[in-house]
Amino acid sequence: METWTFLLQKRNDTSWLPLDAPTAEILTGSYRLASHSSLADRAIALHIVYRRRRPAPTPPSIKG
């Protein structure tokens, strides 16, 4: 199996951040994605999934 490296760069930022986990949490913004592998000139399929985090439930208020 081939090893891939994926990097993200946020708009107006000069650094590239590695995506080490398939479930990485990414802050809201615009990004560029780069990848690296020893395979050259190959078509790949890439799926990016957006999952909105649900806000934490509000604790019940105590009235006395």
pTM of model > 0.85: no
Residue pair 5/39 in contact (Cβ under 8 Å)? The answer is: no
Checking phi first, is residue 19 left (phi over 0); if not, alpha (psi -120 to 50) or beta? beta
Going by pLDDT thresholds of 50, 70 and 90, the confidence category of residue 12 is very high
Q: What is the pLDDT of residue 49?
A: 78
Give yes or no for residue 9 having a pLDDT over 80: yes
Q: Could you read off the pLDDT of 24-35 as tens digits, one per residue?
A: 788 888 999 998
Structure tokens at 64: 């006395």
Q: Could you read off the pLDDT of 26-61 as tens digits, one per residue?
A: 888 899 999 888 888 888 888 877 777 777 777 777
Q: Which stretches of the chain are DSSP H helices? A: none
